[in-house]
Amino acid sequence: MAAAMPCKSAEWLQEELESGGGSSLLLLDCRPHELFESSHIETAINLAIPGLMLRRLKKGNLPIRSIIPNNEDKERFIKRCKADTVLLYDEATADWQDNGAATSVLGLLLQKLRDDGCKAYYLKGGFNKFHTDYSEHCEPNIDSSSPSNSPPASVLGLGGLRISSDCSDGESDREPSSATESDGSPVPNNQPTFPVQILPYLYLGCAKDSANLDVLGKYGIKYILNVTPNLPNMFEHDGEFKYKQIPISDHWSQNLSQFFPEAIAFIDEARSKKCGILVHCLAGISRDF
- For the chain, what are the domain ranges? 7-140, 196-280
Mean pLDDT score, 164-185? 38
Fold classified for 7-140: Oxidized Rhodanese; domain 1 (3.40.250)
**Res 59: pLDDT:** 74
Percent of the chain with pLDDT over 90: 31
237 Cβ contact partners less than 8 Å away, ≥ 6 residues apart: none
Q: Model confidence over 76-120: pLDDT tens digits? A: 899 998 889 999 999 887 655 444 455 577 888 888 899 889 999
Question: How many whole angstroms separate alpha carbon 129 and alpha carbon 9?
Answer: 10
Q: Model confidence over 189-247: pLDDT tens digits? A: 444 467 888 888 999 988 889 999 999 999 999 999 998 887 889 898 888 999 999 88
User: What is the dihedral sign for C-alpha 168, 174, 180, 183?
Assistant: positive
Active site residues: 281
Fold classified for 196-280: Protein-Tyrosine Phosphatase; Chain A (3.90.190)
- 196-280 and 7-140 share a CATH fold: no
Question: How many whole angstroms separate alpha carbon 88 and alpha carbon 86?
Answer: 7
**Res 4: pLDDT:** 66
pTM value is 0.50
* Count of C-beta atoms within a 10 Å radius of residue 248: 17
**Res 30: pLDDT:** 87
Q: What is the DSSP string of 219-249?
A: TTEEEEEE-SSS---TTTTSSS-EEEE----
